[in-house]
Structure 1
Amino acid sequence: MFFVDILSQLLRPLFYMIRSERMWKMLVKSRTEPDLLILLRFLNTRMSLTVDDTKQYLNLKKGYEGEVLFDQLTAAYLNKEIFILNDIMLEINHSKFQIDSSLIIQDTIIPCEVKNYESNYFYKDGEFYFFGAKQPVTNPLHQLKRAETLLQQYLKKNGFHFRILPYLVFINPKFFLYQAPQNDSIIFPPQLSSFMEKLNSKPSNLNGMQRKLADKMIADHIIESPYPKLPPYNYHSLQKGLTCAICSSFFISYGEKKIKCNNCGSEEDIESAVLRCVQEFKLLFPDLRVTTNIIFDWCKVVESRKTIRRILQSYYKVMGCKQWTYYE
């Protein structure tokens, strides 16, 4: 991505600060692509989404890309003893709150709200506005304050005495905020280098208490079902067929052992393509059984039921028998 190159230039001086000795940062909880984003991407390929659903999909996609970029920066530039927990959702007093990245350094926990805003915004009367718009966007400072308040309650309830140092991180170098408030909690793209330096300068000595907090947060992490947030769909309403793993095109040619995308030219083993398609089917229709006939219909371009059956038998557990056979 273009802005990754820009960030690399901004942070290049930091490369020379990284020593060759062992890094102590510990990724305790990695980030994975949200199921809601995966499902919306599948649906965006196989049906026409409404304007609102398309907006939801694109916002989730952009937000996830920004969070991944922040993960890459912390992995590359932090050389401290530190626990890193990504994408944690917790609940306290019947209120849920989500933290994009939580950094635990000695006696401090640093919740980071990462925003991948792009283009020009302005700040007025305590609100954020997209340049030229009359209505404010959701104020990320309010989101950060809410997360800080609920995290404080969570720590107190569970007997942890950590200082909370929250930050709002704007990761995209194409973002500019006019009339920006003087707030030390806000990190703008040109400040990312000094922000990493600041984190590296903090004294840190991990012990059992930091690990205990990290383990507790992971144990309490809430996984929400994505299905209530999806637009209505059913098996018959979705376009069938294998899609290209690179460009999601349906314009596929089927060979003896490979499929080829006639849109971008990429090739993929038939077995790999079918297994990818089965996983897509399982996510979209968790209540439907995986059978040879339904996967044959779902893939479309694969001409032989025997090919589908062989692949399913090789990678899934066979349940039932004869016409009642299905795979788990």
Structure 2
Amino acid sequence: MYLNKRRMPLELLYYNALSFRKELSRQEKYEKEKIQRGYEGECQYDQILDEAGHDNIYVIRDVYLKTGNTDTQYDTIIISENRVVINEIKNYTGDYRYENNRWFRNNKDINDNAFAQLDRAKGKLMNLMDEAELHVKVEAALVFTSDDLRLSSEDQRIWQETIVRNHLRNYLRQFYNEYLGNKAKSIANLIRNAVVENTYFKETADINQLRRGLYCGECGSFNLIKKRFQFCCAECETVESSDSHLLRAMHNYKYLFYNQPMTQSSLTYLINDEINRSTIYRAFQKYCHINRKGNYTTYTLKYQDLEEALELHRKTQRYKDKLVTNR
């Protein structure tokens, strides 16, 4: 059973928001596509795990754990009464070769040593278990989710901890025979208590390079017609309430300026004063955590998933959104 939801990576949330407000550079497009591909691989893994079944195991996904003096990222941790299994997920495509502890793609040396990452993650988790005096077997496997991968290696050791796509379903089915007890609960609690935020994410947008204002949630156009309580897109005729636009703008702000506080003035500047301050203030009260320090107030959007936030909002909104998706 899943103990948490797999969330879109902070880096992808950043690049998605950035792509609506500026033309991405070649490097930014490359980074966005690489992260998107990795996230899609993780979602494919989850889908196959759903089909194989996970009632007899605990599954913790996409977390950073404080282990010693470092924070270590884990794509998936599977917990049963008898063992803990780390799955590092890669959505590689094309021809890869592993030779002398080095990776090659299309015969070109690449930096990403996935087996070294896996060994480090395994060692850190073993240390966490040992410090808590939880004696449990820790295993690790590198999982490749794409069926368009051709991997070769003369190092026979790697195949013991390598799962390719056509073996993935059978690999995950083995966990059907596991079971959960008090020890598994203790392991899960230990891991969950070690979870920390992603401290490696440092991206911040340059506000001077961004297009300010509100944009259509369906087609991305900034060409909006303001009505009393809603905006109508002049391009696709989608109608969205002021609150829907503010949720999107707050979500943009959260990830474009992740380590910077959001204030009424800073959000008003991002949306180019297209919604009045009293409406913004009411939206802050509904959708944000409020942080007060004397006379200084900042706001933190409660939601990481914009679609989830919009879905909840649309269930109760007075002025209904009218989405035009098939133009």
Q: TM-score range by the shorter chain?
A: 0.7 to 0.9
Asked whether the 8 Å contact 1:112–1:167 carries over to 2, the reply is: yes
Deviation of the 1:85 alpha carbon:
0.6
- Write out aligned runs for 1:1-328 (5 A): 26-131=1-106, 133-179=107-153, 182=156, 183-200=159-176, 202=177, 204-225=178-199, 229-230=202-203, 233-261=205-233, 266-285=238-257, 287-291=260-264, 295-300=267-272, 302=274, 308=280, 311=283, 328=299
C-alpha displacement of 1:107: 0.7
Change (3 A) 1:130 1:316: closer
Residue range with higher mean Cα deviation, 113-122 or 311-320: 311-320
Match of 2:317 in 1: none
Paired with 1:316 and 1:154, the residues of 2 have a C-alpha distance of 34
Q: Give the TM-score normalised by the residue count of structure 1.
A: 0.75
Q: Which residue of 2 aligns with 1:19?
A: none
Deviation at 1:59, TM superposition (A): 2.1
Contact 1:242 1:250 in 2 (8 A): yes
- Report the Cα offset of residue 209 of structure 1: 1.4
Q: Helix, strand or coil for the counterpart of 1:240? A: coil
Is the contact between residue 254 and residue 301 of structure 1 (CA under 8 Å) also seen in structure 2? Answer: no
- Quote the residue 1:14 is aligned against: none
Count of matched residue pairs: 294
Cα distance, 1:53 vs. partner?
Answer: 3.9
Task: Kindly state the Cα deviation for residue 296 of structure 1 after the two structures are TM-superposed.
Answer: 4.4
Q: C-alpha deviations, 1:132-184, integer Å up to 9, x for none?
A: x4223412122112212222222112111111221111112222224575413
Structure 1: give runs of 5+ residues left out of the alignment. 1-25
CA RMSD of aligned residues (A): 3.2
1:253/1:188 CA distance change after superposition, 3 Å: farther
Residues 173 and 189 in structure 1, CA contact (< 8 A), matched pair in contact too: yes
Structure 1 152/314 Cα, relative in aligned 2: closer, same or farther at 3 Å? closer
The 3 A distance-change label for structure 1 pair 117 and 255 is farther
Task: From the superposition, tell whether residues 304 and 205 of structure 1 become closer, same or farther in structure 2 (CA, over 3 Å).
Answer: closer
C-alpha distance in structure 2 between counterparts of 1:195 and 1:33, whole Å: 25
Q: TM-score, normalization: structure 2? A: 0.76
- For residue 195 of structure 1, report the CA deviation from its aligned partner: 1.3
Q: Give how far 1:105 is off.
A: 1.8
Q: Given that residues 88 and 217 in structure 1 are in contact (C-alpha distance below 8 angstroms), is that contact kept between their aligned partners in structure 2?
A: no
Determine what percentage of the aligned residue pairs are the same residue: 22
Alpha-carbon distance, 1:63 to partner: 1.4
Q: Secondary structure at the match of 2:193?
A: helix
